[in-house]
Amino acid sequence: MSVVEINFDGLVGPSHNYAGLSLGNLAATKSAGSTSYPRAAALQGLEKMQANRALGLTQGFLLPLPRPNGKFLSAIGADKTTDRALIAAAWSASSMWTANAATVSPAADTADSKCHLTPANLVTMPHRGQEWQDTAAQLRIAFGNGDHFAMHDAVPASFGDEGAANHMRFCTGHGEPGVEAFVYGKTGGKFPARQHEQASRAVARLHGLSEERTIFIEQNPEAIAAGAFHNDVVAVANERVLFTHSEAFADQHGAYDAIRAKFPELEVVEVSACAVSLGEAIKTYLFNSQLLTLPDGGMELISPLEAKTEAVHRWAKDAIGGNQPIRAIRFVDVRQSMANGGGPACLRLRVVADPATVDPRFLLDDATAETIGNVVSEYWPETINTDQVGDEALAKRVIAARHKLLEALGLSELS
- Active-site residue set: 162, 230, 346
For 5, the 3-state DSSP assignment is strand
142, 164 contact by CB (below 8 A) = no
The H helix count followed by the E strand count for the chain is 14, 15
The helix-helix angle for 366-379 and 392-408 (nearest 10°) equals 160
In sequence order, the β-bridge partners of residue 267 are 241
User: Cα separation of 102 and 139, whole Å?
Assistant: 9
Q: Is the dihedral of CA 355, 356, 361, 365 positive or negative?
A: positive
End-to-end CA distance of the chain: 33
Closest C-alpha to 151, from 161, 162, 142, 159: 142
- 270-279 b/e (C-beta count within 10 Å ≥ 16 → b): bbeeebbbbe
Closest C-alpha to 334, from 96, 29, 60: 96
Residue type present at position 362: F
User: Cα separation of 392 and 102, whole Å?
Assistant: 32
User: Cα separation of 291 and 57, whole Å?
Assistant: 12
Cβ-Cβ contacts under 8 Å for 412 (sequence gap 6 or more) = 403, 406
